Amino acid sequence: MPKGIRVSNADRRTQTQHGVTMLELMITLAIVAILAALAAPSFTGFIADVRQSSMMGELAGDLHLARSESIKRNVRVLVCPLGAGNTCGVGTDWAVGWVVCYDANDDGICDTTVGNDPNPIKVHAALGRTVSLVGPAAPIYFRPVGTASVLAAFVLANSSSVTGGTTRVTTVTPAGSVTTVKQ
């Protein structure tokens, strides 16, 4: 520094300090770790809830697809649990997956593929091991006018303790409407 120019102590401190100390860094990391540990359980529950909502959204979407295909094709369209060979299965366990297929001859069985018109229309794979999806034992079918064969309810429950026992219920009315509610 040139002679005769005075620099205050405050100016010297700001000129000589660079970065953060190791102690400041460790305290900051400890605070971040504590906040992350507090937020993790609620975030895990949120993720499980979103997954459950997504699964029921897929089922509702496939039921809407079946209804619209029945109207478009002017034939009966089935929705049933997934069986061997991507055909209709039996039982109330819909967590194994489900099939959307057309049934033009009204025999309750998916028709065979004709030309470039594939059947089944859609196959949904099995859901995860931590959920159970219970639905009607008989296939649901939509008529060409868009009405459903029965009043049906699907109940999705998560066996994980993270969600706090929430379930979602999707119902199909005889008029053909599909609704999902969280319980």
**Domains defined for the chain, CATH in brackets:** 21-182 (3.55.40.10)
pTM here is 0.76
Q: Which residues contact 25 (CB under 8 A, 6 or more apart)?
A: none
pLDDT (0 to 100) of residue 10: 57
pLDDT (0 to 100) of residue 96: 92
In the block, tokens 């229309």 appear at 121
Q: For residue 144, how far is the Cα from the chain centroid?
A: 29
pLDDT (0 to 100) of residue 110: 87
Residue 55 CA to residue 3 CA, distance in Å, equals 78
From first to last of its 183 residues, the chain has per-residue pLDDT tens of 566 666 565 555 556 667 888 899 999 999 999 888 887 777 777 787 888 889 999 999 999 999 999 999 999 999 999 988 888 888 899 999 999 999 888 888 888 887 788 889 999 999 877 788 999 998 999 999 999 999 999 999 876 654 456 789 999 999 999 999 987
